[in-house]
Amino acid sequence: MDVVTDLSTPPWPNERTVVTIGAYDGVHRGHRSVISAVCELAKANRQRSVVVTFDKHPASVVRPESAPKLLTDLEQKLELLAQTGVDATVVIHFDHEQSLETAEGFAQRVLVDGLKVATVVVGEDFHFGRNRTGSVPMLREFGAEADFDVQPIELLERTDGVDEPVSSTAIRRALAGGNVGLAADLLGHPFQARGEVVQGDRRGRLLGFPTANVEVPTALCLPADGVYAGWYFREDGIARPTAINLGRRPTFYAHADRSLLEAHLLDFHGDLYGERARIEFTHFLRSERKFDGIDALQSQLKKDIDDARHVLGLLPDSVA
C-alpha cells in the first residue's frame, strides 16, 4: 500500500481513482465494508483504490475538550488499512487551518485536483468540511459539475441483536465495560494497546510475578480497569501468552492518578525495557479490587495466571 502525505501535485496524474474519506479510527468491520466496495469498484474499472484519512482525529482539533480516545494510533491505523488491500492511503495533516476549509474547498483540492476522483464511496451518514456541511447530497451536486459519481453505502449493522450500526463509538462503549470480546467482534480483530515498556516500581518482581510496565499515550483508548488474558507481541513479531493487569493497584496506592498497564508474560524471562509493546486483549478475567495483604494478592495473582492459561488454551506446564 502506498502512503501519500502531499497532494500539492497529483500523485497519479494519469489515473482516475475510487476514494473513500474518514477518520477510520479502529478500521472496524463497518469501515472494512466500505473499503471493500472501494476496492471492488476500482478493480472493475481499472482505477486506483484510495482511502483518505487524517493524521489525527478531527475532533481533537475541533472540540478537544470532548474528543474521543483513539482506538488506534496512526501507525496501527495504516497497518490495518494495508491489510484491506486498498492501493493507497492519503494522510491529510489536520490542524486548525484545515478545520476551517469548506466542504467544497476540500472536495476540489483533494478529490478533484489531487486525486482525479471518478467515484466517492462513503457511508450514508457521511459529513465533512467546516461545520460538517459536506454530505452525500452535497457531494452528488458537486460531483455532477466536477465529473465524479458518489456511491453511498448502508451502515453495517451489528450481529448481536443490538439495533445500531458497527461504529467506533460502540467499540469504545464495549471497552469501557471491559467487554473485549464484543469489541473484537465489532472491530473484526482483537483490541490492541501499544506503548513503550518503561521502568516501574518493580512490585511485580518482588511479588514473584514480574511485569512489563507499558506506557500507553493518554490519547489512546484502554479497556476498563481489571485483569485480562491476551498476547504480548514483541518487536520480532512473536506473540507470547500474557496475563494483563490494568488499573490503579489499590492494594498499594490509595489515590493513583491514572491506570497502569502491566503485562506478565507467561513462562518468559528476559529484558523488555525500551521496546515498543503491542498488547492484545482477548479475555476479561476479573475486575480490579483491593486485597487485605500481600499473601492474599499473591494467591489471586497465581489464580489469574492459571485462568489466563486456561482461556488461552495452554496446558499448565506449557512453555511459550
CATH superfamily, domain 190-311, is: Riboflavin kinase-like (2.40.30.30)
- The yes-or-no verdict on residue 204 having pLDDT over 70 is no
User: Does residue 182 contact residue 160 with C-beta atoms inside 8 Å?
Assistant: yes
CA angle 109, 70, 198 (to 5 degrees): 125
Compute the average pLDDT of residues 135-160. Answer: 95
Q: Does 207 have pLDDT greater than 60? A: no
Q: Which top CATH class is 12-153?
A: alpha beta
Locate cell 474518514: which residue? Answer: 22
Whether pLDDT at 237 is above 90 = no
Q: If you average pLDDT over each of 31-40, 154-163, 195-204, 248-257, which comes out highest?
A: 31-40
- pLDDT at residue 188 is higher than 60: yes
pLDDT tier at 300, thresholds 50, 70, 90:
confident
SS3 for 284?
strand
How far is C-alpha 318 from the chain's CA centre? Answer: 31
Cα separation, 240 vs 180, in Å, equals 18
Work out the mean pLDDT of the chain and round it to a whole number. 91
Query: Cβ of 291: how many Cβ atoms within 10 Å?
Result: 15
- Specify the pLDDT at position 177: 96
Q: Residue 319 has what pLDDT?
A: 45
Instruction: Write out pLDDT tens, residues 14-30.
Output: 999 999 999 999 999 99
The per-residue pLDDT for range 107-130, each reduced to its tens digit, is: 999 999 999 999 999 999 999 999
pLDDT tens digits, 45-67: 999 999 999 999 999 999 999 99
Reported pTM? 0.90
pLDDT of residue 257: 62
| Residues 238-256: tens digit of each pLDDT | 899 999 999 876 444 544 4
Q: Are 303 and 291 in contact (CB under 8 A)?
A: no
DSSP secondary structure of 194-228: EEEEE----HHHHTT---EEEE--TTB----SEEE
CA distance linking residue 243 with residue 78, whole number of Å: 28
Q: Mean pLDDT over residues 139-144, rounded?
A: 97
Among the ranges given (33-47, 91-105, 143-157, 279-293), the one the predictor scored with the smallest mean pLDDT: 279-293
pLDDT of 160 reads: 87
CA distance 58 to 39: 25
Residue 308 pLDDT: 95
* Rounded (10°) angle between helices 180-187 and 168-176: 160
301 burial (CB, 10 Å; 0-12 / 13-18 / 19+) is: buried
pLDDT at 192: 97
pLDDT over 70 percentage in the chain: 92
Look at residue 33 and tell me whether its pLDDT is greater than 80. Answer: yes
Residue matched to cell numbers 459519481: 149
pLDDT at 205 over 60: no
Alpha carbons 290 and 207: distance in angstroms, whole number: 15
Note the pLDDT of residue 320.
42
- Rounded to whole angstroms, the Cα distance separating 1 from 96 reads 29
Domains of the chain, by residue range, sit at: 12-153, 190-311
**CB atoms closer than 10 angstroms to residue 166:** 24
Top pLDDT among 289 and 233 is at 233
Contact status, residue 35 vs residue 84, Cβ threshold 8 Å: yes
